[in-house]
Structure 1
Amino acid sequence: MIPPSLPKDEQARLKELRSLDLLDTASEERFDRLTRIASRLFDVPIALVTLVDEERQWFKSSVGLDAPETSREISFCGHVILDDRVMVVENTDTDERFCDNPLTQGAPHIRFYAGCPLRSLDGCNLGTLCLIDSIPRSFTDSEIELLQDLAALAEREIELTQLAHEDELTNISNRRGFKIQGNECLRHCSRRELPVSVVYIDVNDFKQINDKYGHAEGDRTLSIIADCMRALCRKSDVVARVGGDEFAAMLADTTREGAERVLVRFRALLEDMCLDQSLPYDIALSFGIVEFDPERHSNLAELMEEGDQLMYQQKKQAKSANIQ
């Protein structure tokens, strides 16, 4: 048996997979319908929609298989996600990768396998739509095309899930996505006893930009801020538009002092982008920075609330200064 290797984009792939909040969720008709069609169309006893997690492959939808998951080390789908093509094994007995695999030697006694990778909007292979039979069989080019067509429908359902977590205007996470990814980041840092900080951001006088220059210009303002956040933050960080003119960033392995240094670079980059685009106005922001403290914060919601309060205090101070 040859265990599957890791994709080059493994960390980004896992982050994107978990941001979808599909793992360990209840069955859904939108996916079950596809596995039923696949089983009948190709006349196979088993059809699956799989998601390949860090150490397991988990079945979002399953026809003909009772197990909810198997180890990634022995998975066929772990091999599929290494490529963008359909992987077909017509007879596992003649394939050194799988001939002595526990899934061929024992239940479900796989002899035939065909799997098509399921890609996210960002191009990561998250899992597969796959077919399994207990007897060897051939698989024609036309059947490969049919499997790809069904997989495209499964990808569309995954994309709809992803879009539900993404802000359509700025293409960064929305509030729901921030909560999901932020909780994952917080758990990761807490397990490893790493610092983590949240930066809450609000656009000052955003209504005036909309009123004076139009909503299209207001949208450009929000997109510029998102672009700056995306440019400065690492893959381990989480950035989001959490409200109309409010943004948040969770910075992993970062103290409050480290977050302040990031903000200095953020302000400089924002100023440069505004100059490059010749904006007829200044983008003024208020910030709230808070470092996670397990003695004061029990969850992400409390961390965000404190960041929001600190941001609001700075906003009030700025408004008071302008009046004076």
Structure 2
Amino acid sequence: MPSNLDVCSAEYEEQRLQALADYQILDTPEESAFDDIVEVASLICEAPIAVVTFVDRDRQWFKSEKGLGVRETLLDVSICAHAILQPGLFIVPDTTQDPRFANNPLVTGEPHLRFYAGALLESHDGYPLGTLCVLDYQPRELTERQRFALQALANQVVAHMELMQAHREQAELIRELEATRHELAKRAATDPLTGLLNRRAFEQRLNQEVALIQRGAPPAALMLIDLDHFKRVNDALGHQAGDEVLVRFTDLCREAFRQADVIGRWGGEEFVVMLPRATVAEARHAADRLHQLLATTPMRDDISSPLFITASIGVCSLTGSSDLDGCLQKTDELLYRAKAQGRNRTVCES
């Protein structure tokens, strides 16, 4: 326990208040667990008033109360503020005979409190937080059994607070683990350069779409894109410049395609797009938009001659009877037909 000198210090009081704040108990709603403890304390001690109170900076706040009808009072009328300055039980048999409380407005006026007994509520590291107290309108004493029971019930208050804190920490840990799991799953499914789905994740999404189509969803379209002569960019400007071109091309894809369309990096300079609920003709229009953007948007304009690139594209349909591997192979064949016909064009299945 801290020394008496420490107890009187402002630093110690700040540490005590921080310990109280760590429990996140102040200004929380009423809870049956605390209400039950207050009821039992009132019954055992044969007291009309019982309170779980916490001593804040300038007030005492009641987590649960019986017989008072208020949730907080100013600190300057608090008997509990004196109780937390000593360990164990703090008992005032007759408040009118105690110079510390004889002029207290709660003693001289309503509700005319004459008896007080408070069991200390301590944090796990020994800071006094408040009390479980019982009060009466008549001067009196507690029996030894009542004293023991009051302290035991106070220990249960602290134990429940510790349990609540552990539950909050566990919930926070679960949220952090879930966020980490989500981030790891996202990284496992994402191409690190472009932020698009990687090949494995795209194939999973493609399988899902085919399954939906087989259950009656409208057909979709599949598009395979290859950047023309991309090796020349790497050879002339370096791989870092090549990476910048791939990122810029990704931005153009996001502009050319719908938000519902799924874009992935198939590998190297190859990209793949799945267009749900789209016909081959609609996919062809989207490919034309991409060609137009490529024709008017330099991939790099920080060099002497702005760099433009073109792309070859193959498009096929996804229907309920589609074989996924066969569809991917067909799209690949259409892509190479576009290259054979002179590149910078789209070839669709007939």
TM-score by length of 1: 0.51
Secondary structure at 1:289 match in 2? strand
Instruction: Tell me what 2:307 maps to.
Output: 281
Report Cα offsets for 1:24-51 as digits up to 9, x if no partner. xxxxxxxxxxxxxxxxxxxxxxxxxxxx
Secondary structure at 1:288 match in 2? strand
Residue among 226, 233, 236 paired with 2:250: 226
How far 1:91 moved relative to its partner? 11
Report Cα offsets for 1:217-261 as digits up to 9, x if no partner. 111111122112223333432110011110010101111111111
Instruction: Tell me what 1:168 maps to.
Output: 192
Aligned pairs, number: 189
How far 1:142 moved relative to its partner? 6.6
Contact persistence 1:210–1:218 (CA under 8 A)? yes
How far 1:158 moved relative to its partner? 2.6
Secondary structure at 1:158 match in 2? helix
* Equivalent position amino acid for 1:164 in 2: A
- Unaligned 5+ residue runs, structure 2? 1-28, 33-159, 344-350
Contact persistence 1:209–1:217 (CA under 8 A)? yes
Separation in 1, partners of 2:31, 2:342: 69
Distance 1:155 1:275, change over 3 A: closer
Instruction: Tell me what 1:267 maps to.
Output: 291
Secondary structure at 2:225 match in 1? strand
* Equivalent position amino acid for 1:218 in 2: G
Instruction: Tell me what 2:322 maps to.
Output: 297
Instruction: Tell me what 1:251 maps to.
Output: 275
* Equivalent position amino acid for 1:288 in 2: G
* Equivalent position amino acid for 1:297 in 2: S
Contact persistence 1:224–1:270 (CA under 8 A)? no
Separation in 2, partners of 1:288, 1:199: 6
Matched, 1:151 2:175: yes
Distance 1:315 1:142, change over 3 A: same
Moved more, 219-228 or 256-265: 219-228
Matched, 1:202 2:232: no
How far 1:92 moved relative to its partner? 11
Distance 1:137 1:182, change over 3 A: farther
Separation in 1, partners of 2:211, 2:164: 46
Instruction: Tell me what 1:106 maps to.
Output: none
Amino-acid identity (%): 28
Contact persistence 1:241–1:248 (CA under 8 A)? yes
Contact persistence 1:189–1:253 (CA under 8 A)? no
Separation in 2, partners of 1:213, 1:280: 12
Separation in 2, partners of 1:166, 1:275: 23
Distance 1:146 1:287, change over 3 A: same
Distance 1:144 1:228, change over 3 A: same
* Equivalent position amino acid for 1:215 in 2: H
Separation in 2, partners of 1:275, 1:281: 5
Separation in 1, partners of 2:164, 2:338: 65
Separation in 2, partners of 1:281, 1:176: 31
* Equivalent position amino acid for 2:241 in 1: E
Distance 1:248 1:92, change over 3 A: farther
Distance 1:142 1:262, change over 3 A: same
* Equivalent position amino acid for 2:178 in 1: A
Distance 1:182 1:137, change over 3 A: farther
Secondary structure at 2:197 match in 1? coil
Report Cα offsets for 1:46-82 as digits up to 9, x if no partner. xxxxxxxxxxxxxxxxxxxxxxxxxxxxxxxxxxxxx
- Unaligned 5+ residue runs, structure 1? 1-89, 94-135, 320-324
RCO (CA 8 Å, sep 6+): is it higher in 1 or 2?
1
Contact persistence 1:200–1:248 (CA under 8 A)? yes
Contact persistence 1:189–1:252 (CA under 8 A)? no
Instruction: Tell me what 1:308 maps to.
Output: 332
Separation in 2, partners of 1:91, 1:179: 53
Residue among 185, 190, 193 paired with 2:209: 185
TM-score by length of 2: 0.48
* Equivalent position amino acid for 1:286 in 2: S
Separation in 2, partners of 1:216, 1:247: 19
RMSD of Structure 2 on Structure 1 (CA):
3.3
Distance 1:195 1:91, change over 3 A: farther
Separation in 1, partners of 2:211, 2:256: 23
Distance 1:224 1:200, change over 3 A: same
How far 1:305 moved relative to its partner? 1.4
Contact persistence 2:225–2:311 (CA under 8 A)? yes
